[in-house]
A and B are shown apart, each in its own frame.
Chain A
């Protein structure tokens, strides 16, 4: 196991064998072409990544893309079906607001909640996992007990308790989702650090007088970057699902601020006449979560030498 070359994250990953077979012979052509081929060999990562880029752009450029402000009510467009003529491409909701512009503005909220809470997840998960894995013993036992406690309480109930205690706000939502979803990442990091901590080069570094902090930060954590990035990507997907679920229940982002979750809630009452009011935001959640999952899974295979061949 220790013989596996660790994935080089600087970008100098060798062209996967499969790509070489598929495109015949040695890597030739311009660097750009080679990049394209490499992506072609990893369709999940490429498709996922492309969707993420498109959705992020839509969300970032929302003010320029949306023709109508998301909060403006137009009585004529009440429950209007999607059409290309009216300028309300995806129709109007029960208040006559432009569903398309609400969708792209909601993307800003959902994506930022997903990404920012993921940052908290990663920071806490890596810190807990690294300390527990590196020191072992008591620190490990105590930290893993805490991890088990957080892991065992069904996340939604913990979130509801926190919302009931502290009230509802987007900032709080980000912190709480982040603070409840780190245990799995902590366990992964802990396992990896335990595997690495007794390697010869770590011992060598220790013998030369390097501090624990230096060893962890300089020698151990950099090796975990691929795993952490892949699991963080999947975490974003999960956190977006959690946010949308909470917002659907009315415990997350509060109307009139649109998120995909509360758009589904508002649409559900009018589902019989206008199914698209549920279908459109529902599809948005599905596509974005799928994209992050695909990208994360693809990335994991791409970076893992053991599965690199079969990754496509």
Chain B
């Protein structure tokens, strides 16, 4: 119980740190920070003064920080473009990003399982070498180049899959199963890198575990190779894969930016990039905070899962 509580208590400073960092970047901005939160094209001197008052830019820094955060939560911090509360803009875009990222990581794991397992059966064998080479190679492929190649082939040349957007023209947002073809390529591109990394970790973990004494014992007492593999080895080899997940989640979320811009998906990455390009600062700031919160929370969940799979980590 104490373990869960301390794990939970640890995310508080982490979230505080993330929001402080965001605030600091905002305060370090050159010139008048008001220009960042009020639309620079339509500010009168009164507006400026009002915002300065609102954010308390003349007050001590902790007060400013507090009012900025409350402004974000209460929706007073609004997008320049739509005048919607920034938090709403971000939350509307979030599902697309989470669906694509979640599906991609799940598929990556499913693909990696047989690859990693087969490679580990004969370390140094030809299949193992192929997996190892593919991983090094795949890490060097920029996602936007892979995405463009897929669009060129599947959309332009063979006209099999839609290359942009999330639903047929005439519908807004998700269109249920009609949206699936639109998500195929984004999910594949997102899953590509993680699949190879998972496979490599699984392979390393498995080939290590297979040399352990308890595996030899299991074999010696006459268990079939399949049962040694699935009951004894795999479970232990999955541990590093689970902890790998916690570093892949921020990476996948970050990667969503490029993927969503390329495929025209109305997700968080696209919203944030467009906001940055049009200097819609409130949206950018809110998006960064939300995405960091998601990364922190999912990391916590993974830690809890880890503690559940492997009771040893709970002891310390």
Cross-chain contact A165 with B28 (CB below 8 angstroms) = yes
A-chain residues with CB within 8 Å of residue B258 when the two chains form the complex: 156, 245, 248-249
Verify if B261 is at the interface (C-beta below 8 Å from A): yes
The residues in B between 262 and 298 inclusive whose CB is less than 8 angstroms from any CB of A are 269, 272-273, 275-277, 279, 281, 284-285, 287-288, 291-292, 295-296
* Distance to closest chain B CB from A271 (angstroms): 6
* Distance to closest chain A CB from B148 (angstroms): 5
Verify if B253 is at the interface (C-beta below 8 Å from A): yes
Cross-chain contact B140 with A157 (CB below 8 angstroms) = no
Q: B223-254 CB contact bits vs A (8 Å, 1 = yes)?
A: 00000000000000000000000010011011
Cross-chain contact A166 with B29 (CB below 8 angstroms) = yes
A165-B22 Cα distance, complex, nearest whole Å: 10
* Distance to closest chain B CB from A175 (angstroms): 12
Measured CB to CB, the residues of A under 8 A from B are: 145-146, 148-158, 160-166, 237, 241, 244-245, 248-251, 261, 264, 268, 271-272, 275, 278-279, 282, 285-287, 289-290, 293-294, 297, 310
Cross-chain contact A152 with B296 (CB below 8 angstroms) = yes
A250-B275 Cα distance, complex, nearest whole Å: 12
Given A282-B142, A286-B141, A293-B139, A156:B292 Cβ within 8 A: no
A166-B14 Cα distance, complex, nearest whole Å: 25
* Distance to closest chain A CB from B214 (angstroms): 22
* Distance to closest chain B CB from A225 (angstroms): 24
A297-B285 Cα distance, complex, nearest whole Å: 37
Cross-chain contact B28 with A152 (CB below 8 angstroms) = no
Verify if B18 is at the interface (C-beta below 8 Å from A): yes
Cross-chain contact B136 with A290 (CB below 8 angstroms) = yes
Cross-chain contact B21 with A149 (CB below 8 angstroms) = yes
B-chain residues with CB within 8 Å of residue A237 when the two chains form the complex: 139-140
Cross-chain contact B18 with A271 (CB below 8 angstroms) = no
Interface of A is mostly: helix
A-chain residues with CB within 8 Å of residue B140 when the two chains form the complex: 237, 241, 285-287, 289-290, 293
* Distance to closest chain A CB from B315 (angstroms): 20
* Distance to closest chain B CB from A6 (angstroms): 24
Verify if B306 is at the interface (C-beta below 8 Å from A): no
A310-B128 Cα distance, complex, nearest whole Å: 14
* Distance to closest chain A CB from B190 (angstroms): 13
* Distance to closest chain A CB from B101 (angstroms): 10
Q: B8-29 CB contact bits vs A (8 Å, 1 = yes)?
A: 0000011001100110011011
7 A-B pairs besides A154-B292, A165-B281, A248-B144 with CB distance below 8 A are A152-B250, A153-B250, A155-B250, A165-B28, A237-B139, A249-B258, A275-B152
Which of A154, A290, A293 has the most chain B CB atoms inside 10 A of its CB? A154
Q: Which of A146, A244, A251, A272 lies in contact with B142, CB distance below 8 A?
A: A244
Verify if B299 is at the interface (C-beta below 8 Å from A): yes
Cross-chain contact B142 with A245 (CB below 8 angstroms) = yes
* Distance to closest chain B CB from A277 (angstroms): 10
Cross-chain contact B136 with A294 (CB below 8 angstroms) = yes
Verify if B51 is at the interface (C-beta below 8 Å from A): no
